[in-house]
Chain A
């Protein structure tokens, strides 16, 4: 159990480092080219893994709906946007804001998919996330300075 908890935490850190590296590349060659490199290298890496695992077979590939292929489109845009903002906002702020956008839209996507209104706890969660964003927008030190000057 502890091993898997560690793996999941490590995974989050890997996501962060991927975005940090893409952010550096984006600052040098632009967000769309950074997104292109990310996808080419990721594609080659996964090709290698699939070759090693030898698991290429897919049951009923004709039954896959067209919309299942839209992920790559949003992925290309996402990597470009996150690479662009990452060096400008800093690693922590970029992570916080992307997570906030992701979590809040997940509530709406599930709402759309299931057709039932989100639970009270989920609505409360959205409010708490928004509160966090609001706090991060507040200026951080001036109040303390005033107190110190008195």
Chain B
């Protein structure tokens, strides 16, 4: 239970990091274009992630690293391709906002899309995610989070 609480808090902290990321990336986009901003951010992110990989390798003892090594040659190629839908997001968001949607509307709809994906993914076990039954309580949670988010997005 404590371990689970740790995951929950980490996920919320992830959301905080995401908000900070979007804040600075939109500042960069204001000075450039959405594409160039995301391109620069991905490049910087790669450098930072590389530094983090080296840092964790130095901090972990050799023995732990040996135990952690899995046979990566067996991993399917799509395991490495998460960056493509992630980067394509920038393209679609730019198209939607250049179209008839306002920024707030686009953000709100993207949140809905994320949650729909989460529910479908849990239900069918997409991308080898563990299958989990969607219960009535989940709909209550989704309603609260989406309604609250809409109030935050449109309540400026």
Q: Do A and B come from one complex?
A: yes
Q: How far is the CA of A38 from the CA of B79 in the complex (A)?
A: 10
Which residues of chain A have a CB within 8 Å of any CB of chain B?
1, 3-5, 7-25, 28-30, 32-47, 49-50, 53, 55-56, 58, 60-61, 63-65, 67-82, 84-107, 109-110, 118-122, 124-133, 135-138, 140-141
Which residues of chain B have a CB within 8 Å of any CB of chain A?
7-8, 10-25, 27-28, 31-33, 35-50, 52-53, 56, 68, 70, 72, 75, 78-93, 95-96, 99-101, 105-106, 109-119, 121-122, 126-130, 132, 134-135, 137-138, 140-145, 147-156
Additional A-B contact list (4), CB under 8 Å, known A14-B86, A72-B42: A17-B121, A63-B31, A93-B11, A103-B152
| CB neighbours of A17 from chain B (8 A) | 82, 85, 117, 121, 126-127
Pull 15 A–B residue pairs with CB atoms less than 8 Å apart, ordered by A: A4-B95, A4-B100, A12-B112, A12-B115, A12-B116, A15-B113, A36-B49, A49-B35, A67-B24, A81-B10, A82-B18, A89-B11, A92-B118, A98-B14, A109-B20
Q: B108: shortest Cβ distance to chain A, in Å?
A: 8
Contact check, A121 vs B11: say whether CB atoms are below 8 A apart: no
Interface of A is mostly: helix
| CB neighbours of A132 from chain B (8 A) | 140-145, 148
Q: How far is the CA of A130 from the CA of B88 in the complex (A)?
A: 31
